[in-house]
Amino acid sequence: MRRKILVVGTGKSTAYLLDYLIQKAEVENLHITICDLNPEVLPDKIKLHKSCTILKLDILNDNDRSRAIEQSDIVISMLPARFHIKVAVDCIQFTKHLVTASYISDDILALDHQAKEKGLVFMNEIGLDPGIDHMSAMQVIDNIRARGGKMILFESFTGGLVAPESDNNLWNYKFTWNPRNVVLAGQGGVAKFIQEGTYKYIPYHKLFRRTEFLDVEGYGKFEVYANRDSLKYREAYGLENVLTLYRGTMRRVGFSKAWNMFVQLGMTDDSYTIENSEGMSYREFVNLFLPYSPTNTVELKLRHYLKIDQDDIMWEKLMELHLFDSDRKIELKNATPAQILQRILEDSWTLANTDKDMIVMYHKFGYELNGKKEQIDSNTVVIGEDRTYTAMAKTVGLPVAMATLLILNKKITTPGVQLPIRREVYEPILEQLKSYGIHFKEYQVPYLGYNPDSVAS
């Protein structure tokens, strides 16, 4: 009897995941059922594979979803995060393990007791960030503690970027994951973290002007803006007493200052819809956010409003996006400003078929050992192959697939709703990832603590 894996959702992050499972199908005695609302987009090598069954599935159809889950041994949900709870409830009902790459929601966390009662592993946050960040960080932290060290600083940064060879726009950026999440990044509250024992808070309208800079050997300089809640994992990591705890998102230097123009204009707002947005030109959209003038052009009003000169690189970045074109239409009905901005950016920032993306992750670990302050920096860089086999798909999909097999093979056995922060999870997965070119370089460096010169005001 073949062991049955159910994969629900076939989005951008599943290319490596599906290939991994198919390559393991014979030796691991697997049958993979792949469900999606539009399964016809899957490549023939998957649709026609003898170890695969392809199903058209509407996740909101309770009967079809429940039947598919009941017939499986373990479920991988690659759906948008809001749909995981429907899958998770069915997994509880039918006693099935569950693996997702998404953040643990309150609804999922509420199932922890039931999962433990039934001996079920509900593995979450096992993608890139969250995922590889947890595993790579906990491996170093656990090793420091095993040597008798006491953690005093932890900083962690991740960026999904365009690879240098495909970096051909002034923003040094293209969409490598969900564009909506990029447009809405940082909203919904203040960014909060600790630096040198002091709590810090950055409101959204200031977020993209408070950046830290760092260098990655061989890849140059990057900037980091703070994640919304750096304190979220303080207890999980056992870092309640550290002096500095800061998590952030990496971009190329200059991106955040330019993105701040959209924030100040109000174009990233997702809280209201714009009437008659369908058929509106890009130029008309920009003009919505500017003061009325009977004489000044849209271009001149924007430059005055943002206080940028015509020879400023910021102006060139705006021009590159065709924001002032009257012929380009939005073609979205009753859309929010954020949805319209996303539509405009996708014109310029969508990966071409042969474009390569790049994942960069960087950790800093400060600790005391034998009365002396020490620091370890570690980083990894992963380059994608093309628009389908991206570094993002690789770093999200492979850990998900590996965790699934480890659970099936009873190598991961601790039940309950969880993060991948225990040795039984991170050690075998990080070891396997090395063979796919995903590995961290570690450097012993002088302890620097918090460097105020690295933060832009």
H/E element holding 31? strand 30-36
Integer Cα distance of 185 and 271 in angstroms: 14
Residue 189, pLDDT score:
84
- The tens digit of pLDDT for each residue in 311-322 reads 999 999 999 999
Please compute the mean of the pLDDT values over residues 32-51 and round it to a whole number: 93
Number of domains in the chain: 2
The mean of the pLDDT values for the chain is 94
Please compute the mean of the pLDDT values over residues 219-224 and round it to a whole number: 96
Please compute the mean of the pLDDT values over residues 83-102 and round it to a whole number: 97
In a domain, 381, yes or no: no
Alpha carbon distances (Å) from 135 to 3, 156, 329: 27, 12, 44
Per DSSP, 103 falls in state: P
CATH for 21 = 3.40.50.720
Integer Cα distance of 457 and 455 in angstroms: 6
Confidence grade of residue 51 (pLDDT, cut at 50, 70, 90): very high
Closest by CA to 365, choosing from 216, 239, 217, 211, is 239
What residues does 53 pair with on adjacent strands? 33
In a domain, 310, yes or no: yes
In a domain, 421, yes or no: no
Say yes or no to pLDDT of 124 above 50.
yes
Alpha carbon distances (Å) from 425 to 168, 406, 419: 39, 8, 9
Please compute the mean of the pLDDT values over residues 108-113 and round it to a whole number: 98
Q: Which pair of structure tokens corresponds to residue 181?
A: 């999440």
In a domain, 156, yes or no: no
What residues does 3 pair with on adjacent strands? 30
Confidence grade of residue 450 (pLDDT, cut at 50, 70, 90): low
H/E element holding 304? helix 298-306
Last residue of a domain, one of 96, 124, 152: 124
CA angle 423/426/432 to nearest 5° reads: 130
Which spans in 71-184 are helix H? 84-94, 106-109, 112-117, 132-146, 179-183
Q: Whole domain around residue 301: which residue ranges?
A: 273-335
Confidence grade of residue 448 (pLDDT, cut at 50, 70, 90): confident
Residue 91, pLDDT score:
98
In a domain, 329, yes or no: yes
Say yes or no to pLDDT of 95 above 70.
yes
CA atoms within 13 A on the CB side of 382: 28
Integer Cα distance of 50 and 48 in angstroms: 6
Residue 302: Cβ within 10 Å count: 21
Residue 418 CA, distance from chain mean position:
18
Say yes or no to pLDDT of 33 above 90.
yes
Last residue of a domain, one of 335, 353, 368: 335
Integer Cα distance of 417 and 108 in angstroms: 7
Q: Which pair of structure tokens corresponds to residue 26?
A: 């014979």
Confidence grade of residue 451 (pLDDT, cut at 50, 70, 90): low
Look at 50-54, 140-144, 453-457 and tell me which has the smallest mean pLDDT: 453-457
In a domain, 316, yes or no: yes
Answer left, alpha or beta for residue 226, where phi above 0 means left and psi between -120 and 50 means alpha: beta
In a domain, 302, yes or no: yes
Polymer length of the chain: 457
Confidence grade of residue 457 (pLDDT, cut at 50, 70, 90): very low
Integer Cα distance of 403 and 99 in angstroms: 8
- The tens digit of pLDDT for each residue in 394-445 reads 999 999 999 999 999 999 999 999 999 999 999 999 999 999 999 999 999 9
Q: Maximum Cα–Cα distance for the chain, whole Å?
A: 77
Residue 210, pLDDT score:
93
Say yes or no to pLDDT of 65 above 90.
yes
Backbone angles phi, psi at 137, to 5 degrees: -70, -45
In a domain, 395, yes or no: no
Strand, coil or helix: what is 154? strand
Confidence grade of residue 1 (pLDDT, cut at 50, 70, 90): confident
Please check whether residue 8 is in contact with residue 79, taking contact to mean a CB–CB distance below 8 angstroms. Answer: yes
Q: Is the peptide bond before 203 cis (omega within 30 degrees of 0)?
A: no
Sorted by sequence, the CB contacts under 8 Å of residue 191 that are 6+ apart come out as: 201, 202, 204, 207, 225, 226, 227, 228, 229, 230
The DSSP annotation for 380-442 comes to EEEE-SSSSS-HHHHHHHHHHHHHHHHHHTTSS---EEE-S-SHHHHHHHHHHHHTTT---EE
Residue 178, pLDDT score:
86
Look at 73-77, 155-159, 182-186 and tell me which has the smallest mean pLDDT: 182-186
Q: At what angle do helices 313-320 and 298-306 cross, to 10 degrees?
A: 140
Q: What percent of the chain shows pLDDT beyond 90? A: 93
Last residue of a domain, one of 335, 350, 377: 335
Say yes or no to pLDDT of 11 above 90.
no
